[in-house]
């Protein structure tokens, strides 16, 4: 195995096409195909399925490519540290539940450390996809929450994927509502106060278990349910329909505008918000810097 072979495999996965990858790598297509086959033979795996329609990454190939990306990142860091030469773009990816402080920290990291060339990804996504992204090294770090209800299931899922959870902070439950909502003047909101209003929550796809819900108290019945996929839609509906969502209460007016407010929810519960990383693997400088920024912003 060589770093060049790993770069070839990662480029093929990124483009989804051998011909396009060969063009980007400035090598002949047969040479690229041969290099990939040698890599597969060396480790007795199949990284890509090949067909007339192109290529598809196999499950074992997906895992292998996660390690390959990690090795290439570490090699770039060594090159930059000891030669002072940055050989390519800075690359960094975060997968997270829908938290404004995660985006704010991402912006700060990019401004401080992005450099002249970069490719940064900010993925606000479904809970299981956060775990899967970090497990397969598509993201360097993930951010999600635990509480009494979901902790056993989430921690087992993390262990099964070779990941560890570290706490950033613990928050009491709040509700996000529009500032003109009829209950907005109350100092504290009760569950009974919410029964007349639509409850908004984030879609969890095929892993739509209560344990993977981004909102706590998801098992409590609600007559009016709205499921969304992105934060902008959820906030628009909070205002337009006097809806609500249960959350940590951490909000940024700069990012989310002045029309959404957070009110304490009168329940005996909590949200332990933290980050997940691969167990036992060294982290990149950018990952370490991002964790420091997260801690400074929310703790």
What would the pLDDT profile of 112-165 be if each residue is shown by its tens digit?
A: 888 778 889 999 999 999 999 999 888 999 999 999 999 999 999 999 999 999
Q: Which residues lie across from 199 on neighbouring strands? A: 225, 244
Joined together, the tokens standing for residue 260 give 């959404």
The residue with greater pLDDT, 154 or 23, is 154
Least confident of 106-115, 144-153, 250-259, 261-270: 250-259
**Among residues 148, 96, 146, 151, which one has the least CA distance to residue 294?**
96
Tell me the torsion sign for CA atoms 204, 206, 210, 211. Answer: negative
Structure confidence by residue, pLDDT tens digits, 78-106: 776 677 665 567 789 999 999 999 999 99
Asked if 289 and 162 touch (Cβ cutoff 8 Å), the reply is no
Residue 256 has pLDDT above 90, yes or no: no
At residue 157, the pLDDT reads 96
At residue 299, the pLDDT reads 65
Structure confidence by residue, pLDDT tens digits, 207-228: 778 899 999 998 898 999 999 9
- Quick check: pTM over 0.85? no
At residue 169, the pLDDT reads 95
At residue 265, the pLDDT reads 96
Across the chain, how many H-helices and E-strands are there? 11, 12
Structure confidence by residue, pLDDT tens digits, 41-91: 999 999 998 877 778 888 888 888 888 887 887 777 677 667 766 556 778
């Amino acid at each position: 195995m060589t770093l060049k072979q790993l770069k070839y495999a990662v480029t093929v996965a990124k483009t989804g096409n051998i011909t396009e990858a060969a063009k980007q790598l400035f090598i002949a297509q047969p040479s690229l195909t041969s290099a990939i086959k040698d890599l597969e033979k060396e480790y007795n795996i199949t990284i890509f399925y090949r067909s007339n329609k192109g290529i598809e990454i196999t499950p074992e190939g997906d895992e292998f490519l996660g390690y390959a990306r990690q090795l290439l990142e570490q090699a770039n860091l060594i090159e930059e540290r000891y030669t002072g030469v940055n050989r390519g773009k800075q690359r960094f990816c975060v997968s997270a539940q829908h938290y404004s402080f995660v985006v704010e920290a991402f912006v700060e990291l990019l401004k401080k450390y992005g450099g002249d060339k970069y490719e940064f990804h900010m993925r606000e996504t479904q809970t299981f996809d956060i775990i899967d992204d970090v497990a397969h090294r598509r993201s360097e770090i993930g951010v999600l929450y635990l509480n009494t209800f979901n902790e056993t299931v989430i921690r087992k899922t993390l262990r099964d994927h070779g990941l560890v959870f570290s706490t950033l902070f613990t928050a009491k439950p709040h509700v996000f509502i529009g500032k003109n909502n009829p209950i907005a003047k109350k100092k504290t909101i009760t569950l009974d106060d919410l029964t007349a209003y639509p409850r908004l929550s984030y879609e969890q796809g095929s892993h739509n278990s209560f344990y993977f819900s981004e909102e706590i108290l998801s098992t409590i019945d609600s007559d009016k349910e709205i499921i969304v996929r992105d934060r902008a839609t959820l906030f628009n509906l909070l205002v337009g329909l006097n809806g609500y969502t249960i959350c940590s209460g951490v909000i940024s007016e700069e990012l989310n505008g002045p029309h959404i407010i957070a009110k304490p929810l009168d329940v005996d519960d909590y949200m332990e918000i933290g980050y997940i990383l691969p167990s036992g693997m060294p982290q990149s400088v950018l990952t370490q810097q991002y964790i420091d920024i997260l801690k400074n912003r929310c703790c």
